[in-house]
Amino acid sequence: MSEPLLDVSGLRVTFPRAGGVRQVVAGISYAIAAGRTLGVVGESGCGKSVTSLALMGLVPSPGRVEGSIRFEGRELVGQSAAAWRRLRGEAIAMVFQEPMTALNPVMTVGRQIAEALVLHRDGVGWREGEDQAIGLLEAVGINSPKDRARAYPHQLSGGMRQRAVIAMALACEPKLLIADEPTTALDVTIQAQILDLMLDLQDRIGMAIQFISHNLAVVSEIAHEIIVMYAGRIVERAPAEALFATPLHPYTQGLIATLPDPAHRVARLPVIAGGVPDLDGDGGCRFADRCPRADAGCRAAEPEAVELAPGHVVACFKAGQ
């Protein structure tokens, strides 16, 4: 098999705290092939954003990243700050939930996109960059791109700002786009348009996407493969169709049961009660306290991830029983 574009193995992220460390990403493994979309789903606080920051080399100090992140066969964990900067410019781009964090409020949108082009594409000068910026704004579906290029971020709507950020991310023609809740702040119509846009761009430039959301319905619109995170771990990973057809982890089953789309609904399970536990866990399954099937064994040891069907991995003692 050819090497995947991104190969994450045993990734851990810890932050120091009084008397020890807090493990917020607890040894996760997955891969993404070129041109494919991986969806990452899980409720707030489960470690989705910290995982994406780790992929960009942006985990804030004093956080510690361990394990392996291989990109095109090259190990990224432990590489120099300069190497991370090059990679972020040339190969991996990221879109966040709040577009204003990625935009400079005192620079026109066109100028910002042009800047990305000048910095990251060989031989592109400012003049050409500004022309290409208009083309990129058009490509992300912004009307009157020439006028919008002259606008400042606050003069655009939220949906348009997010399109502008996507245009900026695309300026470096990334091989991997990390989209962390890119549509969460937008209303549903705009959300659907942004998803369509990302799929369309993926078709055109062949980039891989890691698409993160707390909302499984949104992830299901775009992902070929889905990982479900819970309290810093991957509890289930499967091709999207398999995840909906035969969800194996009780947490995933609960998520699917709450989806509004009847086509994606299985027999109703008890609503998932309780809150996310302390991320460090106490040695047992982290989901045990909220799990309708948990028994003493589940509280005694943490389940390992097991591949129960091709590409379908689950970390649950009860799965497959």
Ligand X SMILES: Nc1ncnc2c1ncn2[C@@H]1O[C@H](COP(=O)(O)OP(=O)(O)O)[C@@H](O)[C@H]1O
The binding site for ligand X (CB under 6 A) comprises: 15, 24, 42, 44-50, 60, 63, 279
Nearest CB to ligand X, comparing residues 48 and 318: 48
Smallest distance, ligand X to C-beta of residue 94, A: 13
Choose the stretch contacting Mg ion; rule: CB under 5 A; options: 45-53, 117-125, 144-152, 306-314: 45-53
Rounded distance between C-alpha atoms, residue 159 and residue 193, angstroms: 9
Q: How many CB atoms lie within 10 A of CB 149?
A: 25
24 binds, among ligand X, Mg ion, none (CB under 5 to 8 A by kind): ligand X
Smallest gap, in angstroms, from Cβ of residue 158 to ligand X?
Answer: 20
Q: Give the shortest CB-90-to-ligand X separation in angstroms.
A: 25
76/279 with CB nearer ligand X: 279
Report the alpha-carbon distance of residue 108 to residue 297 in Å, rounded: 59
Q: Taking CB within 5 to 8 Å according to partner kind, which of Mg ion, ligand X, none is near residue 47? A: ligand X
Closest CB to ligand X among residues 24, 76 = 24
Q: Which residues contact 140 (CB under 8 A, 6 or more apart)?
A: 163, 164, 166, 167, 170, 197, 201
Q: What six digits make up the tokens of 205? A: 């430039």
Q: How many residues bind Mg ion (CB under 5 A)?
A: 2
Residue 303 neighbours by CB under 8 Å, 6+ apart: 285, 315, 316, 317
Return the closest-CA partner of residue 35 out of 261, 148, 202. 202
Q: Which does 50 bind (CB under 5 to 8 A by kind): ligand X, Mg ion, none?
A: ligand X
Q: Are the CB atoms for 147 and 96 separated by under 8 Å?
A: no
C-beta of 174 vs 182, nearer to Mg ion: 182
* Cβ 305 vs Cβ 227: under 8 Å: no
Q: Distance (Å, rounded) from C-alpha 287 to C-alpha 285?
A: 5
159 binds, among Mg ion, ligand X, none (CB under 5 to 8 A by kind): none
Cβ proximity to ligand X, 196 vs 282, nearer residue? 282
Minimum distance from CB of 142 to ligand X (Å)? 28
Q: Give the shortest CB-156-to-ligand X separation in angstroms.
A: 25
Tell me which residue of 26, 5, 61, 44 sits closest to 176, measured CA to CA. Answer: 5
Helix 158-170 and helix 126-139, axial crossing angle in degrees, nearest 10 = 130
Alpha helices in the chain (DSSP H): 48-56, 81-90, 109-120, 126-139, 145-149, 158-170, 188-205, 216-220, 240-245, 250-257, 296-300
Given 14, 23, 37, 49, the residue binding Mg ion (CB under 5 A): 49
Residue 52 binding Mg ion, by CB under 5 A: no
CB of residue 49 vs ligand X: minimum separation in angstroms?
Answer: 3
Please identify, using beta-carbon distances, which residue of 52 and 253 lies nearer to Mg ion.
52
Any contact of residue 213 with Mg ion (CB under 5 A)?
A: no
Give the residue at shortest CB distance from ligand X: 49
What minimum distance in Å lies between the beta carbon of 13 and Mg ion? Answer: 13
**Residue showing the smallest CB distance to Mg ion in the complex:** 49
State the Cα–Cα distance between residues 237 and 219, nearest whole angstrom.
13
State the minimum distance, in angstroms, from the CB of residue 167 to Mg ion: 23
> What are the residues binding Mg ion (CB under 5 A)?
48-49
